[in-house]
Structure 1
Amino acid sequence: MVMSEWSSAKTGTAVVIGVTALCALVTAGTEYAGALELRIGSFALVLLPLFFAFVITVVLNLSLSWRRPDAAAPIWSCAGQLLQLLTVVFVVRAGVVLGTALPTIAEAGPAILVQSLGKAGTALLAFPAALLLGFGRASIGATFSIGREPSIALVTERYGIAGPEGSGVLATYISGTLFGSLFFSVLAGIGSTIPLFSSTALAMACGVGSGGMTISCAGSLAHGSRDLPQDDILALATASDVLTYVTTVLLGAFVVLPVLERLYRSPTAVRNRLVSGDTVEPKAAVVPSRLVSGLAVTGLLFVTSGWRAAPGMLLLLALAFGVRMLGDRTGRFVPTVLWAALVGAVLTVPGLPWSATMLRVLSAVDLLTLATAVLSCVGLCVTIRQLRILRTLSWRAVVVTLLVFAGSFFTSALLAQIVLSLGGFTG
């Protein structure tokens, strides 16, 4: 028994080292290569390093998954553990931007609150399309929200993940994981060419409840924006992103799902129900502890950000550990992500005695580089089961997901622009 435990620990250490080294290498390489801008007339598509990092790790992950699913399972589990901590670090760092730009956010505050209601716009375009494409009841799960983690939890509680509604939300989640960064880069580029929308309204619309997609959208928007500084765009997107976690659950549970249930009862909509296509994945034999995960993330951040950012990285990690412990106690009522954003913001609110020092230390850690590290880790979390569910719904899932994203983005931007215009805000 002792020998078996020692062997398991040794294997776990090797997996953690391998995953950390791969993420660090991919992050450093893509950051060094920089962004790629593709221009088609007046439209510009900006592919950030985080997008390439995700694609590279997905390809490497899937090539191993098809050949050795037994070997891939520990990698999925390990990457998932590292991602949990790395995401909290990212949100704390994003909260720093939120705190420093509170004056800008306060000025556009009513618009941020109102635009968050636009997250219910996911179903406007996508639900009818999903019914026409034969999703059946899967259309409810696929279109009621942007389809991230809170959405999966809500569907699991209400319907069960094995039913058609579960297949729908997983299809949107997987399509968003695979193509979300690209989708929102495109949507940000399209939105910036529409004279109706200001950069302020579009920045608010970028907050979709997913760090990777939010930062991809905001980064693409900031790259081409001439009327709003990059930090303000990131701050507005971060504030909206945090609100989205709340509105997804509230609007989804009490507004959108009941409405879609009622709409689905029509005779035409009941046809062609889909099954979930669930399969059983190999169980991971090794799950790294929080201490090992912390050491791995520390090494990853040192490699990708450099020694000059060491004080800021260590502070972010300490804050992330504290936030996770707090979230473990209050997660049922206050999600960890809300605590993370709040802690980062409180440390850097202008006028507080410690804000200048904290801002100097934490700003040494580049937010976009941190986002690239997050996406490189996400790519190693995509599993065979997720791909099989996506294959069941085929290309239709991608079409519906794109409509979900477009409905959320443009509905939110429109509501934000209306409030901004009524308030005389021209930024």
Structure 2
Amino acid sequence: MARPSNAKTGAAVAIAVTTLCALVTVGTEYAGALELRIGTFALVLLPLFFAFVITVAVNLSLSWRRPDAAALIWSCAGQLLQLLTVVFVVRAGVVLGTALPTIVEAGPAILVQSFGKVGTALLAFPAALLLGFGRASIGATFSIGREPSIALVTERYGISGPEGSGVLATYISGTLFGSLFFSALAGVGSAIPLFGSTALAMACGVGSGGMTISCAGSLAHGSHDLPQDEILALATASDVLTYVTTMLLGAFVVLPVLERLYRSPAAVRNRLESGDTLEAKATVVPSRLVAGLAVTVLLLVTLGWRAAPGVFVLLALAFGVRILGNRTGRFVPTVLWAALVGAVLTAPGLPWSATMLRILSAVDLLTLATAVLSCVGLCVTTRQLKILRTLSWRAVVVTLLVFAGSFFTSALLAQAVLSLGGFAG
């Protein structure tokens, strides 16, 4: 007799989570972005940031008043998030497919510099261990911690673990300070004679639209050897390419290396003792059918009926990709398959690309990201918040080291390839 009760409870929780995420997404998208000017710098807070903050606040309130109900919310939102992130990455792969000509035209430098994103860990991982991050250091430093990073951590570790706490710490700190910091990094890079504007423009593409625009805009403002349009085009192409390299390098290179380093004797001495335990899991979760229906309703409500064909195509692809990901296991992550499928569907020159691009472009990527982040906010557990409160200012320090490592490593690689090719720009 427990099964019907559990099924009904799971369905009820899924309805509540879907309703809340839909209301928050629609409301924040309607309100729009907020621009804060600090001197010559502009800090732009997108709707997805406010969606995340609002659902975290609701989550916090519920956790304090009804911890038993909050556990159900965490579990249900986590189920929905697994599907939502795959849908998001497929849609992001569409951007990659359309940008392939620009990436090819930029030559090998833009491809090589994208591997510099592993530089996030060069400075930040040792610092995170010394500052007592524990296993959270793995999630915090393997990338710059944007949406694709959350998707990869969600698939591999679950968002409720210490790795999830780490990637959320980087995400929150990056949202608050990332645009401003990357504007400053562009200025610092321009002042170093080693780097040309072309290499710096490529390094600006970090897998985050706001940070990329801030970095490229600052660079274009002070550049005298490269047109503004070319700087923005190179940064945008690099930004799109970073979506794939974040998942590819993160899954096969950076995360395995950080896992091994974390088990080293030096790392053991610097672990945060309370950071390696897992949150208790709820026993009632929605079925896959209920989760699929909930995500479908959420996307149709937030994206509008005009985007309905694209939504259904993305959902069908996401279900297929998840089945494929389950077959390939840890060798080829689901999110990587999702990016590749999206790129293949819209790569120029293929007979179906124009039709698929028209259908899928109706699904706004930033609105989809807002829906994803509203769901992420409901996955934040009290234990994660305790870890974030414990990390405090240290999370900001590690995040800035992550950003600096990514930017300068990418710029170094790009400049090296450009110099070898006889192009000094």
Shorter-chain TM range is: 0.7 to 0.9
The answer for the alignment partner of 2:380 in structure 1 is 382
Pairing 1:240-389 to 2, within 5 Å after superposition:
240-252=242-254, 265=266, 274-278=272-276, 281-389=279-387
Secondary structure of the 1:189 match is helix
Q: Secondary structure at the match of 2:142?
A: coil
What pairs up with 1:121-136 in 2 under 5 angstroms? 121-127=119-125, 129-130=127-128, 133=131, 135=132
Q: Distance in 1 between matches of 2:31 and 2:301?
A: 16
Distance 1:123 1:318, change over 3 A: closer
The 5-angstrom pairing of residues 12-411 of structure 1 reads 12-127=10-125, 129-130=127-128, 133=131, 135=132, 141=138, 145-146=142-143, 148=149, 169=163, 172-193=166-187, 195=190, 197-198=197-198, 200-204=201-205, 206-207=206-207, 214-218=208-212, 226-227=228-229, 235-252=237-254, 265=266, 274-278=272-276, 281-411=279-409
8 Å CA contact 1:118–1:415 kept in 2: the answer is yes
Structure 1 unaligned blocks of 5 or more? 157-165, 208-213
CA contact (8 A) 1:76 1:380 kept: yes
Question: How far apart are the structure 2 equivalents of 1:77 and 1:170?
Answer: 14
On the 8 A contact 1:77/1:287 being kept in 2, the answer is: yes
Task: Give SS of 2:229's match.
Answer: coil
Distance 1:312 1:200, change over 3 A: farther
Q: CA deviation at 1:329?
A: 0.7
Q: Any idea what the Cα deviations from partners look like across 1:207-241, whole Å, max 9, x if unmatched?
A: 3xxxxxx3553465688875259887555323222
Q: Is contact 1:24-1:303 (8 Å) kept? A: yes
Cα distance in 1, alignment partners of residues 136 and 369 from structure 2: 31
Task: Tell me if structure 1 keeps the 8 A contact 2:10–2:287.
Answer: no
d(CA) in 1 for partners of 2:217 and 2:304? 24
- Alpha-carbon distance between aligned partners in 2 of 1:365 and 1:144, rounded to the nearest angstrom: 31
Cα distance change on mapping 1:364 and 1:140 into 2, 3 Å? closer
Deviates more, 1:95-104 or 1:235-244: 235-244
- Specify every segment of 5 or more residues in structure 2 that has no aligned partner in the other structure, as ranges: 221-227
Any idea what SS the aligned residue of 1:380 has? helix
Q: Distance in 2 between matches of 1:61 and 1:250?
A: 33
Structure 1 residues 67, 120: closer, same or farther in 2, change over 3 A? Answer: same
Give the C-alpha shift of residue 52 in structure 1: 1.1
Instruction: Tell me the residue number matched to 1:162.
Output: none
Q: Structure 1 residue 363: deviation in Å?
A: 0.6
Name the CA distance, whole Å, in 2 between partners of 1:372 and 1:72. 22
Secondary structure of 1:287's aligned partner: coil
2:270 & 2:262 partners in 1: Cα distance? Answer: 17
Q: Does structure 1 retain, via aligned residues, the 8 Å contact 2:117–2:409?
A: yes
Q: Could you report, residue by residue, the CA deviation over 1:226-281 in whole angstroms, capped at 9, with x for unpaired residues? A: 5259887555323222112222344436766777888x75xxx9866531345564
Amino acid aligned to 1:295: L
Q: Which amino acid aligns with 2:178?
A: F
The structure-2 alpha-carbon separation of the partners of 1:170 and 1:354, relative to structure 1 and needing over 3 Å to count, comes to closer
Deviations 1:145-204 (A, max 9, x none): 2375667999x8xxxxxxxxx96x565324124333334333443345453555741443
Tell me the distance in 2 between the aligned counterparts of 1:286 and 1:52. Answer: 29
Flag the 1:240–1:136 CA change in 2: closer, same or farther, 3 A.
Answer: closer
Per-residue CA deviations over 1:24-79 (Å, capped at 9, x if unaligned) read 11111111111112222222211111111111111111121122211111111111
2-structure distance, mates of 1:236, 1:288: 39
In 1, are the aligned partners of 2:173 and 2:395 still within 8 Å (CA)?
no
1:286 counterpart SS class? coil
CA RMSD of aligned residues (A): 3.5
- For the Cα contact (< 8 Å) 1:215–1:371, is it kept in 2? no
